Amino acid sequence: MLKDSLEVLFGKHGFDDYRWIRADQIQVAHWVRFKCMFGCSSYGKKGTCPPQVPAVEECRTFFAEYKEAVLFHLEKAVEKPEDRVPWSREVSQRLIQLEREVFWSGYHKAFMLFMDECRFCATCAGSRESCVKKEDARPGPESLAVDVFATARSAGYPIEVLRHYDEIMNRYAILLVE
């Protein structure tokens, strides 16, 4: 299947703002894992977040097994912090369905990284072993030590640290394809 056919699938699922990138443009950094460990309230509480995910070097090796990726740009402003969760859940449901359709199209290595931590369940079981949505749960890029700021900027996309929830978020999901 050609890129054109995949791009039709992207549009079918409502993803029109994306860029094809080389997988080696995905920047992996130890500092990202440290930010998860010392700054994220989900650390140790979700089955798709550290420490439930591979070590940074293993993540780097994983990305090296791919040649191409798609960086999906998703913009959103929310009025209240809690408005982000339902939006993230809805986007993740569309992303996982897209991953499946890319897989069914012959890309057996298709793998999606959500734009956020997995939010399918209101309360996470806390481990991959106990996960009730094992087939759907995916990590966000930061869980796999991806420096989303550097990766997005290298693709020519905007991304800044936000001070308030009502500012427009520039979020990024990554589809690895081969």
What residue spans define the domains of the chain? 3-177
User: What pLDDT was estimated at residue 81?
Assistant: 85
The pLDDT value given to residue 11: 97
Q: Residue 141: helix, strand or coil by DSSP?
A: helix
Q: Convert the pLDDT of each residue in 114-165 to its tens digit.
A: 999 999 988 999 998 999 999 999 999 999 999 999 999 999 999 999 988 7
The full length of the chain comes to: 178
CB 92 within 8 A of CB 13: no
Cα–Cα nearest to 33, from 55, 5, 2: 55
pTM of the model: 0.95
- 94 - beta bridge partners? none
- pLDDT tens, per residue, the chain with 178 residues: 578 999 999 999 999 999 999 999 999 999 999 999 999 999 999 999 999 999 999 999 999 999 999 999 999 998 888 888 999 999 999 999 999 999 999 999 999 999 999 999 889 999 989 999 999 999 999 999 999 999 999 999 999 999 887 889 999 999 999 8
Question: What does the pLDDT read at residue 166?
Answer: 81
Q: What's the gap between Cα 84 and its chain centre?
A: 15
CB atoms within 10 A of CB 57: 11
